[in-house]
Structure 1
Amino acid sequence: MERMDASHRFEAHTGEVRLVLSAPDLPALFAQAAQGLAELMAEDAMAIPFEDRLDLEVEGRDVEALLVGWLDELIFQTEIRGKVYPRVEQIEVGEGRLRARVAGGSPKAFKTSVKAATFHDLRVRSEGGRLHAAVVLDV
């Protein structure tokens, strides 16, 4: 689910990286989070062959908890499989639950080890008809 009207960027801090997201809706926001995480973790993440697919489900009490749970699940899958998952092929974000099919593969090289997403300074807000989020990642 690549969208030209969604974006992400990184803000570095000692032992942490802040992933700043912008998208028109929740599915695009979560897709950007997956892409941004993969780009942080692996060299040329969007160029890897998307040969592996996973169906993931995450639950959380609110959208912030879903975002942290989503990123933590992707980090976990990378750790146990040695692959990154930058592409979201299907996604449903509902009340307290996210279901998605992601695609990924083995990168040429890993560049940043991400330990976890955190609730530190986490915020998801709506402004100007868009959703914005900033989530701190422990590296």
Structure 2
Amino acid sequence: MTSGPEGPRHTFEDHTAELRLGLFAPTFPELFAEAGRALAELAVGEGPLPEAAGEGVSISLHSVDREALLVDWMNELVFHTEVDGRVYVDFHFDELAPDHLVARVRGAEVQGLRPLVKAATLHDVHITEDSHGYSVHVVLDI
């Protein structure tokens, strides 16, 4: 697990041919950023995440609801990691609503990059909000 109990954090749970990712953050944008950091951690493996460098990539997505938007966001990051050979660790959201987002992401090239995640799935995805912020579990196809 990363970060402290009050800040953004995530957990991993083994699941048959899949991995169940738990995401927890005080705000909606931080939930999306934490999803990106979790994917970067899986791609990097052991060791700290690299510092972001360069201009970055613009991402614009539209989805039917916030759960689908989160899954689409994660799949877009998986795609860019595979195609660009970079892990994305810095996230700036120009717009983030329940059905769309406009973001700029920055990352870094990593030696020994291992894109482990094939896709995020919609299986049992339900974003909840309480006094501590937002939480969700996402099953990743690995």
Q: TM-score, normalised by structure 2?
A: 0.87
**In 2, distance between residues paired with 1:98 and 1:13?**
29
Percent identity between the two aligned chains: 38
Higher deviation after alignment, 59-68 or 36-45:
36-45
Matched, 1:126 2:129: yes
Question: Partner of 2:36 in structure 1?
Answer: 34
Question: Partner of 2:78 in structure 1?
Answer: 75
Matched-pair contact (CA < 8 Å) for 1:8–1:36: yes
Matched, 1:109 2:100: no
> What letter is aligned with 2:56?
R
Unaligned runs of 5+ in 2: none
Q: CA deviation at 1:112?
A: 4.8
Unaligned runs of 5+ in 1: none
Matched-pair contact (CA < 8 Å) for 2:69–2:98: no
Q: CA deviation at 1:50?
A: 2.4
Matched-pair contact (CA < 8 Å) for 2:93–2:101: no
Q: CA deviation at 1:5?
A: 1.5
Query: What is the count of residue pairs matched by the alignment?
Result: 138
Question: Partner of 1:6 in structure 2?
Answer: 8
Q: CA deviation at 1:128?
A: 2.4
Matched, 1:100 2:103: yes
Superposition RMSD on alpha carbons, in Å? Answer: 2.1
Question: Partner of 1:137 in structure 2?
Answer: 140
Q: CA deviation at 1:13?
A: 1.6
Higher deviation after alignment, 50-59 or 115-124:
50-59
> What letter is aligned with 2:39?
L
Matched-pair contact (CA < 8 Å) for 1:45–1:84: no
